[in-house]
Amino acid sequence: MYSFALKSIGDEDDAKEIVQDVFKSLWERRADLRLQDAERYLLRSVKLKSLEFLRNRGNKQRHHELISISKTEFYEDNNLYYKELKNHLDDAVDSLPKQCKNVYKLSRDEGLTNKEIATSLLISERAVEYHISKALSVIKIRLKKYCNIHIARFLLITFLYF
């Protein structure tokens, strides 16, 4: 039985498991079984289990390949959308007035606090708050249309792949 399974499957551990499954099944159904030719029954059971194993292994491999391809496409698309969004954000920031752009970049890119920005640019904290608020408002308006289109696309892709 083991030799037949090993020849069919090509892996010792899997062949042992198949034989063990056949004996387990035989043991669980021992009260109901009435065998006339046990050797023939066992060999046929191993053959069927081996074929089932090969079929399942093939299905599993195809499934993993499909998932791998889908995830790769999904992540590549997300990377492309991220780059596009980053470009649109950079364009929106570049369109800001000079002082507003400086305050925004110090806040977001450099991670400075409002107080640190105020000290660095010799303006009040209230002015810093005003410039950040103005920058965010302009950016929100500039990116709203772009984001709505891509959020809808992202949701569609998410539901298609997962």
Dump pLDDT digits (tens) for 5-60: 888 888 899 999 999 999 998 888 888 888 788 888 888 999 999 988 888 888 77
**pLDDT value for 134:** 92
Whether residues 39 and 99 fall in one domain:
no
| Full residue range of the structural domain in which residue 112 is found | 95-162
pLDDT at residue 153 greater than cutoff 60:
no
Q: How far apart are CA 91 and CA 29, in angstroms?
A: 72
Domains of the chain: total: 2
Whether residues 49 and 99 fall in one domain:
no
pLDDT at residue 162 greater than cutoff 50:
no
Assigned domain for 159 exists: yes
Question: Is residue 139 within 8 Å of 92, Cβ to Cβ?
Answer: yes
Q: How far apart are CA 70 and CA 152, in angstroms?
A: 19
**pLDDT value for 86:** 83
Whether residues 162 and 116 fall in one domain:
yes
Whether residues 61 and 99 fall in one domain:
no
Q: How far apart are CA 62 and CA 59, in angstroms?
A: 5
Q: What is the mean pLDDT of residues 87-109?
A: 90
Assigned domain for 13 exists: yes
Q: Is the pTM of this model over 0.75?
A: no
Assigned domain for 87 exists: no
